[in-house]
Structure 1
Amino acid sequence: SVSGKTIEEATGIIKSRVSRFYPGLSGASPNTFIQVTLGNVRTIKVHILGEVRLPGTFTLSAFSTVFNALYAAGGPNDNGTMRAIKVVRNNQPIAEIDVYDLLINGTANLDLQLQDQDVILVAPFLARATVSGEVKRPLTFELKPEDTLEDLLDYAGGFTDLAFKDRISISRITGNQRSVSDVYAGQFGVFLLKGGDEIQVGKILNRFSNRVQIKGAIFRPGTFALEDGLTIGKLIQKAEGLKGDAYTQRASILRTNPDLSTSVLEVNLKDILAGSQADITLQREDVIRISSIYDIQNERYVQVLGEVRRPGTYPFAQGMTPEELILMAGGFQESANTQDVEIARRLEDSDLGTLADLIQVKINPTLSLSEASPELQPFDQVIVRKRASFTMQRLVTVEGQVNSPGIFAIQSSGERISDLLKRAGGLNPFAYAKGATLIRRTEFFNTESEKIRRQRNLEALRIQLMADPNNSEAQEELLQRLFRDLPKENTSANDSLLAQAKKESLDQIASETPGFDVKIRENEAVAINLEKILANPGSQEDLILEEGDILNIPKVLQTVRMRGDVVYPTTLRHEQGRGLKYYINGAGGFDRRANRRQTYVVYANGAVKRTKGFMGIRAFPAVEPGAEVIVPTKGPKIPLRLGDVVGVTTGLATLALVLSQINWNNP
């Protein structure tokens, strides 16, 4: 039989038997050969019973082992043994498998080949013990009767690095209660465990037997070993000495007392290091604190404000001059007044009326060395003001029907609309002067600062240089400077303080007044009369230009727009001499909810006129080309309540009584 044999073994057996009939298979020079190959693998039936997840009869390959069978059945369940799995063949137990041998040592007899009708029996577990604490695998393990504490520690992977290995505490069931046993290291190999044992492996103490610490103005602060005769001076030497900023007039030792309270010892470190005072021997857990001179005084700094590239706060250094500070701040802005730089200095002793000592200095724009330049003191503020004559170009725009529309720079602070129109070549034949509109920035406009404008221009220059592959050496150097400096600039623009204050006031009014709503605009239309401006240049009608103004002159307009509560809002052709009612009728007339008395006209230049009434007679505003007629809607009717009627009636009665008491004949 070749059952259970390998292919090689089976080939040898078959060859030996067949060679009796075929002599050519054997001998020194065989001329007949035999080859054995495996065709179909037969199957066997194995019965897996007991505490497994899927008990039953399984059809397996004839080459299956105990491990393959247990795997097919899902392995032992939570109640099954891992230490005494029995294999029964022909009603006789032939093997007992301990899975722990495989898991712990890798030597289990799980490769036992099964045969047809074999039975694998997984009984309930034998006994279990739990190990917790400082072991590598804190779990519950199954025990055999001969297992010792040392065996269990092997199952748990051994101690961790922080484990206390001299003694282990074991909680054991004794009758109807538990008892605690202390097992010492020499007993681990002989102490037999029982089911229900709970093993606790403790942790080493978080305590140092020979530690001292040194902190503060020392080159190597940290923890050091306490040696016999270690003193403060020797510890400072071990820490490679004091830093230059060490405060040696006083040092402190935080000492731990036997009752774990603490006490502080103050020492004169300077005298100890000089030898004029006895050195102090350190004790376990002493903590030496050496302060820095900067721990007991304010950090010293200076500030530069105003027209410099990077205003702000900078560290103070002995011998620092205003020129050095301005150089650290990136130099002057183009607008800086270098001949009127002010240093604001704190006063140590001053009367109540004097707040600072002001020093006026003149600085060379090149920031070259100067013997006359004063040295700065801690907390000085260097203030660089703007030149009174410096101003950035201010631009306005002319759009529409002029001979030369476009962007213009304001030439003088008194330049007016009429001057701008002259520079724009005047109106062309298609211009509608009555419809001219001036768009002007409000105080809420986020005005671009000089710094931001400069940054925007430099960014445009950088983009232009990057687009040219044939830059000169000087241009490449400029490009590198722009890459280095531009990201450091703060390009955020904040609202002016006035605008912010007005916004806050409006917000407060809106919160206190129901129904109050104001839309904050950055630009608004200013109603102008261009015909009067051109007829009387320099008059009050002729406004002085401001930065950002946009003057728009439309073409001759021939329509009137109808909006609001009319039957059919539309745009109508303007007819000379026609009144407002004509255009209302052209839009189908007033709608049911139209507020006729509040009808108003918005003219092309931004001016507004409303309907006026007296004694029931309404005077409607004139309608011009380009106008927009707005018919508002009536608000909801609120019925008078009884209390309101009583209040009005009472008020009228009181008024009548007062009038009756007046003697109209007396002057």
Structure 2
Amino acid sequence: MSRRNLTLSQAQELARQAGINPNDPDQIARVARARGVSEEQIQEWLIDLRLNNRGDTSGTGLEDLSGNLTSSDDIILSASTDQDSVPNTTTSKDTSGLEYFGYNIFSDTPDPFKPRTVGPVGDGYVVGPEDQLRLTVWGATEFQYELQVDVEGRILIPNIGMVTVAGQRLSNLRESLKVRLGKSYSGLLKDPPTIFIDLTVTRLRPIQLFVLGEVKNPGGYSFTHNSTIFNVLYGVGGPKISGSLRDVRIIREGKQVASIDLYELLLNGTDNQNIPLLNNDRIFIPPRESTVSVQGQIRRPAIYEMKPDEGLSQLIEFAGGVKSEAYGDRFQISRVIPIEQREDPSFARQIIDYPLKEVLSGEREVKLFDQDKVRMFKISEVSDDYVQIAGLVNQPGIYELSEKIRTIRDLILAADSLRDDAFLGRAILTRTNDDSTTTVFSVDLQAIIENEGSSQNITLQKRDQLQVFRNTVELIDQRYVNITGEVSKPGRYKYSENMSLEDLILKAGGFTEAAYIGDAEITRTEKTTSKNMLTSKLTHELTSDSEKKDDFYSVEHFWPILDNAKTFDLQHRDQVYIRRNPRFNEQRFISIEGEVEFAGTYTILSENERLSTVIERAGGLTREAYAAGARLFRGDREVIINLRELLQGDRTQEIFVKSGDSIWVPQIPNTVLVTGNVALDGFIKFKPDERLTYYLDQAGGMQQDSYKYVQLTQANGAIYQVRRKGWFKQNPKVEDGARINVIYELPEPESEKQSAGEILQKSVATLTSALTIIILAERAFN
């Protein structure tokens, strides 16, 4: 059992071989600790073991407020006979077979949602009693201690003494310990330091919470400080079916501080309402207030909890929307009649029909009440007392065959009449006979419209279908206008007679904030006065007040602009362009991270904002900052800068920042990386004024098959090729944080190697040329 990274099943098998009960968590933990298994590994085994042994009697059950507080790791969901308290596939349904939405997610506790007693915490974490800290020191002196914070908020550091740590943020505590230990280890405070320190939290203190109300296991529990409301509810088995998922309350010091709607998580996957929990918080689940069911042609039939201000539109959204086969003209609500309104005590419900299309389009909202039952019908479930009209009418669709709709003319008028581009010469009426065969009639719409008593105005029968065609002879088909520029939905739109610029702007969703509201430009295809002109350009004034033409667009300008736009009539193929206001600029941002006082995102204040002003706005560099290693990234490229010389007053190093720039200022590295074709690849301690060869020697020198150039990357990202052979070989100074890369040179193929004679011949020729140059130079000077 001393092996690391064992799974629970492997650990149980080893325990069985050792004669230990593999299902007893106490025995497994005791033996594992004796054999050196880490506490973190043991805790993982115990969590998995206790979840596997649900209902076991080995001391892993829940305890209520009358006993000691239990840990979140000790919470076990034991079997229960209370049907209302166990949300599973059988108990979470009503008599109609519909499931109560959301409760079955708590029927099991997935591992990712279990609160952990170990894990990383941020620098803002406030240390307190019962926390376990790990102090690590390395460099010239190395040691590591596991330190428990006692009830008085202190830790005992060997050779240092007692130190009070409770109430301090982790980042501040690191700095104070660095100063405290610096009295004994001076290398911590040197510049650059020779000893380094780190402090982390290895085990978190628990907080005590009370879960009350309509939950399976009300009582007091102990969780880690980083637990969320969802961790807690998962840990205790979740709310009962009778409990609310829409109003989970957090009570703190006798006052309600939050009401959390779990539907945000269940439907949208978001937990924006998540509130940090504090010691002694009360989590209260009240009874569910209003319950509405929906079934039929809906994507997620279920029973939902509704708030008082939510209606049918919200219910449809919860249920994932209606199916494509839903009947649009009617849906039904079965509603409980209030006791005081019941004329006959034996009839407690009433049936109410509403038009579904009006709800889906937003024209109508239907209020819901507790115990309402909503049913969405399928097309085949409704009566066949209908007729249908399709094609070139303003409101095509299905209509009820009634006293108001008896003839073809009645049906056309019910569909808000014919469209302008409808063909009046002929329409087709298709009739479905009782034996499912069809009969087709050709009718003259012109005669029907002009004379209601015409023989062409046929009396309709059930399931008749009228098709009205487009007039592709008398009218231009697919007439359009275009609008581009600063509107919400630029594009091509259908043109209709008497269409104005106002109509087009409304179809395009109105203006963007960047729109120039002075005027609009329209280009029109028409007969021009010059053969060289292709189109005519027109300008229409949108803002009458000359002083407001350059204003940024806002809602207060909307209606005056539309009043002016209404006076301009559009024509087929007009192109409308809403220009951008040249004075409008969205805010642009840059980010600066690393060793500055106030890292973060900053707005660019002017067109030519300088890098130095951004550093100044960020509070300047910290004491640990390494200015020479600062990097500036612009998109996927790096801009080489020298921040150190810039801050020292060299204005030639200044640069204008641009939107999207990111600046990184590192800590002093105090090392140089030597890599590539060297004997020892790794970091070398930086020494001021040392040159390239010093670091190559420290890395054991270059190998024989190294290239003639060495690549030197300085801390600011500038890359140089350093020649290492010949008369002009180089040996530059190396900056702190630089990288030296010795490149491996592939050997020449055997066929390309030169013979000794060829090498000698070329060497003699080179030497002769050099001597000739020297002789000529001496003669010239003499």
- TM-score class, shorter-chain normalisation, is 0.3 to 0.5
Structure label with greater radius of gyration = 1
When the two structures are superposed, what TM-score results if normalisation uses the length of structure 1? 0.41
